[in-house]
Amino acid sequence: MTLRTASEGISFARELETRLGAFYGAIGERWPEVRDVLAPFAAGSAKCIADVQRAYYGVITDAIEGGFCFELEPTDYPAADPSALPEDVEEAVAQAAVAEESICRFYEDAAEQSRGLLADMPRIFDRIVLRRRAALAELKAFAAKKEA
Amino acid sequence: MAILEAPIQEPKHIRNYIGGEWVESSGEHREVVNPATGGTIAHAPQSTDEEVGRAVQAATEAFPAWRQTPPVARARLLFRLKELMEEAFERASRIQTQEHGKTIDESRGESRRGIENVEVSCGVPSLMQGAYAQDVASGIDEWLAPTPLGVYGVIAPFNFPWMIPLWSAPYAVATGNCVVVKPSDEVPLSQDLVAELVEEAGFPPGVWNVVHGGASSASALLDHPDVVGITFVGSTPIGRDVIYKRCGETGKRVIAQCGAKNFLTVMPDCDIDRTIAAMMTSFFGNAGQRCLAAANCVVVGDDRFYKDFVGRVVDRTSRIRLGYGLDESVQMGPLRDAGKKANVVRYIDAGIREGAKLLLDGREPALVGDYPDTCFLGPTIFEGVDPGSTIGAEEIFGPVMSVMRAADLDEALRITNRNPYGNGHSIFTQDGRAAREFAYNVESGNVGINIGITAPMAFFPFGGMKDSFFGVLHTQGADAIRFFTESKVVIQRWF
| pLDDT tens digits along B77-120 | 999 999 999 999 999 999 999 999 999 999 999 999 999 999 99
Q: Give yes or no: residues B118 and B153 share one domain.
A: yes
Q: Identify whether the C-beta of residue B479 lies closer than 8 Å to the C-beta of residue B461.
A: yes
Residue A87 lies in a domain: yes
User: Helices then strands (H, E): number in chain B?
Assistant: 18, 23
Task: Give the minimum alpha-carbon distance from A58 to chain B in angstroms, rounded to a whole number.
Answer: 7
How far is residue B286's CA from residue A62's CA, in Å, rounded to a whole number? 9
Residues of A in contact with B106 (CB under 8 A): 62, 66-67
Q: Give every residue of chain B whose pLDDT is below 50, as ranges.
A: none
Q: Give yes or no: residues B74 and B157 share one domain.
A: yes
> CA angle, B451 as apex, B232 and B184 as ends, to 5°?
25
Residue B462 lies in a domain: no
Residue A1 lies in a domain: no
Give the Cβ contact number of residue A116 at 10 Å.
16
Residue B457 lies in a domain: no
Confidence of residue A117 (pLDDT cuts 50, 70, 90): confident
Q: Which of B182, B191, B184, B166 shows the shortest CA–CA distance to B336?
A: B184
The amino acid at residue A126 is: D
pLDDT score, position A19: 96
pLDDT score, position A65: 80
> How many domains does one find in chain A?
1
For residues A131-145, one letter each, b for 16 or more C-beta atoms within 10 angstroms of the residue's C-beta and e for the rest, the string is: bbeebbeebeebbee
Q: Is A57 within 8 Å of B108 when comparing Cβ atoms? A: yes
Catalytic residue check, B122: no
Strand, helix or coil for residue B492: strand
Task: Give the minimum alpha-carbon distance from B110 to chain A in angstroms, rounded to a whole number.
Answer: 6
Q: Give yes or no: residues B189 and B62 share one domain.
A: yes
Q: Find the domain containing B315 and state its range.
A: 262-449
Q: Give the chain A residue nearest B276 (alpha carbons).
A: A68
Q: How far is CA A109 from CA A4, A75, B488, in A?
A: 12, 13, 57
SS (H, E, C) B366-427: CCECCCCCCCCCCCEEEECCCCCCHHHHCCCCCCEEEEEEECCHHHHHHHHHHCCEECEEEE
Residue B134 lies in a domain: yes
Task: Give the minimum alpha-carbon distance from B60 to chain A in angstroms, rounded to a whole number.
Answer: 35
Percent of chain B with pLDDT over 90: 99
Catalytic residue among B122, B291, B297, B375: B291
Strand, helix or coil for residue B76: helix
Q: Which residues of B touch A (CB under 8 A)?
A: 1, 89, 103-106, 108-110, 112-113, 160, 163, 271, 274, 277-278, 280-281, 285-286, 290, 292, 316, 321, 328-332, 451-455
pLDDT score, position A102: 96
Q: DSSP letter string over B177-236?
A: -EEEEE--TTS-HHHHHHHHHHHHHTPPTTSEEE---SHHHHHHHHH-TTEEEEEEES-H
Q: Is B109 within 8 Å of A65 when comparing Cβ atoms? A: no
Q: Give yes or no: residues B395 and B325 share one domain.
A: yes
Task: Give the minimum alpha-carbon distance from B334 to chain A in angstroms, rounded to a whole number.
Answer: 15
Give the number of C-alpha atoms closer than 13 A to the C-alpha of residue B33, restricted to the C-beta side.
Answer: 14
> How many domains does one find in chain B?
2
Residue B459 lies in a domain: no
> CA angle, B174 as apex, B470 and B290 as ends, to 5°?
40
Q: Give yes or no: residues B205 and B345 share one domain.
A: no
Q: Give yes or no: residues B54 and B120 share one domain.
A: yes
Give pLDDT tens digits for B432-454.
999 999 999 999 999 999 999 99
B393: domain CATH number is: 3.40.309.10
Give pLDDT tens digits for B196-226.
999 999 999 999 999 999 999 999 999 999 9
Residues of A in contact with B108 (CB under 8 A): 7, 56-57, 60, 66
Q: Is B285 within 8 Å of A5 when comparing Cβ atoms? A: no
Is pLDDT at A61 greater than 60 in this prediction? yes
Give the number of C-alpha atoms closer than 13 A to the C-alpha of residue A131, restricted to the C-beta side.
Answer: 15
**Nearest residue, CB atoms, A7 vs list B277, B292, B328:** B328
Task: Give the minimum alpha-carbon distance from B328 to chain A in angstroms, rounded to a whole number.
Answer: 5
Residues of B in contact with A59 (CB under 8 A): 112
How far is residue B289's CA from residue B334's CA, in Å, rounded to a whole number? 10
SS (H, E, C) B85-151: HHHCHHHHHHHHHHHHCCCHHHHHHHHHHHHHHHHHHCCHHHHCCCEEEEEEECCEEEEEEEEECCE
Q: Find the domain containing A135 and state its range.
A: 6-147
Residue B357, φ and ψ in degrees, nearest 5 = -95, 125
B56: domain CATH number is: 3.40.605.10
Residue B144 pairs with which residues in a beta bridge?
A: B131, B489
Confidence of residue A63 (pLDDT cuts 50, 70, 90): low
Q: Is B105 within 8 Å of A4 when comparing Cβ atoms? A: no
Q: Give yes or no: residues B413 and B426 share one domain.
A: yes
Q: Give the chain B residue nearest A74 (alpha carbons).
A: B1
Strand, helix or coil for residue B292: coil
CA B130 to chain centre: 29
Q: How far is CA B324 from CA A62, B39, B356, B447, in A?
A: 17, 12, 30, 31
Q: Is A60 within 8 Å of B277 when comparing Cβ atoms? A: no
Is pLDDT at A62 greater than 90 in this prediction? no
Instruction: Quote ipTM for the complex.
Output: 0.90
A92: domain CATH number is: 1.20.1260.10
How far is residue B487's CA from residue B252's CA, in Å, rounded to a whole number? 16
Residues of B in contact with A117 (CB under 8 A): 274, 277-278
Residue B123 lies in a domain: yes
